[in-house]
Amino acid sequence: MRKKTFAILACLQLILTACDTVEEMGEDNLTTRGQDSAQPAAAQLMNATPAHPPLTGNQQAAYPPITMYVSPQGSDSNDGRSREQALATIKQALESAQAGDVILILEGVYTEGIEIETLTGPIVITGEGNVALDGEREIRMGIWCEHCANITFDNLTFRNYTDVGIGVYLSDQVIMRHLTVHNNGFAVQLVDWGFEGYGIMVDTSSNILVEYNVAYENGPNPQIFPDFLMGTGINIYECAHCQMMYNQVYNNTGGTLVEDSVDVLVEGNEIWNNDLDASRDEWWDGGLWLDGGHDITIRNNIFRDNLGPGIEVSNEDNQEVYGYVLENNISAGNYFGIYVWNFGTSGFPDESILKMAGNTFANNSRQDIMISDWECPPDDPCE
């Protein structure tokens, strides 16, 4: 069975510098304007306070907030404070931004890969018109936002990145909204990080909102290189107090994942035509795969025509799982409507673990409901 864990990323913190940087992949580090990280350690994030109100510019900003402009016709020698004096790169705008600022990216294509090590807002990064960040099938990640707090990404397209379109790690209060994320994660370079290829990735973070996005054609291509990998359109791992709402996820190799997370709401998404069939390696991915964690609500979603389970619910690592709620979901036209495994029972788990109401599982080609008591028993755990 596949292990979708990213614990190796925490080890990277031991070698990161204490400097606040915004780094473009393949180039030297660029120093930001002295913002301190207020993020807790990875273990503390799972106990983070839910949904505290966003900070205001007056609480954080040391100078009046501004709008910074970025344009394909701009220059990084400009000050970025008007359309006529627009910067040329998003990286340069992020390097200069302070809490309270808005970075307005003007229409066009930007060939950039940006790694943010620390960024504290509120800061809004938004596109005007059709704005695309393009990895040209060579750059690893569109935006990787680490130790970010109170940041909004809005109305942007991420395409053609080998590993991840956009991802957040060890971050808090990040919004990813109205993003189009496609053709990413097709040839993973960061295999030592445990990556499998993703459109949107959330890892070890809290208070994250992923809504109104479109994710398609993300994931490994081919799926075997050298091991069988699936990737996901939207991948959420170790997230506390997070929401994935009203997204469209289709034609990915792997659908969506919520793993080892706490207090998560998945609502109003439509997830279809994802290639989840890894049965040659004796497992399936899920249109939504829910594994581990507790207090997770899945409601009012549509899962259809996926090559695998529409909904997959598992306890792969034999954790103390509880508080799963599935209500008013439709799962039809998949291989399986719902696939439940590793809870040690041939029927649905106790309602303290999995409570279900108002769901429809119908017209699935193999089984509407499939339950397996053990796939990874305690004396023979999954690797």
C-alpha distances out from residue 56 to 52, 61, 285, Å:
12, 8, 41
b/e burial code for range 330-339 (CB count within 10 A of at least 16 → b): bbbbbbbbbb
**What pLDDT does residue 375 have?**
78
What is the C-alpha end-to-end distance of the chain, expressed in Å?
7
pLDDT (0 to 100) of residue 123: 97
DSSP track, 240-299: EEEEEES-EEES-SS-EEEES-EEEEEES-EEES-B-EEGGGTEE--SEEEES-EEEEEE
**CA 304 vs CA 44, 248, 287, 360: distances in Å:** 37, 12, 8, 11
Burial class (CB in 10 A: 0-12, 13-18, 19+), 94: buried
| Torsional sign, CA 275, 279, 190, 47 | positive
Phi and psi torsions of 9, nearest 5°: -65, -35
Task: Give the whole-number percent of the chain exceeding pLDDT 90.
Answer: 69
- Tell me the sheet residues that pair with 123: 151
**β partners of residue 144:** 115, 167
- With contact defined as beta carbons under 8 Å apart, do 337 and 306 qualify? no
Max CA distance (Å), the chain: 66
For range 269-284, the mean pLDDT: 78
CA angle 168, 172, 173 (to 5 degrees): 105
pLDDT at 322 over 90: yes
Q: Which amino acid is at 109?
A: V
Cβ–Cβ contacts within 10 Å for residue 44, how many?
11
Rounded CA-CA distance 216/234 in Å is 10
The contacts of residue 52 (CB under 8 Å, 6+ apart) are 173, 207
Please count the other Cβ atoms lying within 10 Å of the Cβ belonging to residue 128: 15
Report pLDDT digits (tens) over 150-165: 999 999 999 999 999 9
Give the pLDDT confidence score for residue 60 in this predicted structure.
46
Residue of higher predicted confidence among 202 and 32:
202
Question: Domains in the chain, ordered, with CATH?
Answer: 19-46+68-372 (2.160.20.10)
pTM to 2 decimal places: 0.84
The answer to whether the Cα torsion of 156, 285, 272, 136 is positive or negative is positive
Q: What digits encode the pLDDT tens for the residues 117-175? A: 999 999 999 999 999 999 999 999 999 999 999 999 999 999 999 999 999 999 999 99
CA 86, CA 77: separation in Å to the nearest integer? 9
Chain-centroid distance, C-alpha 228: 21
What is the helix (H) or strand (E) element at residue 9, kind and residue range? helix 8-11
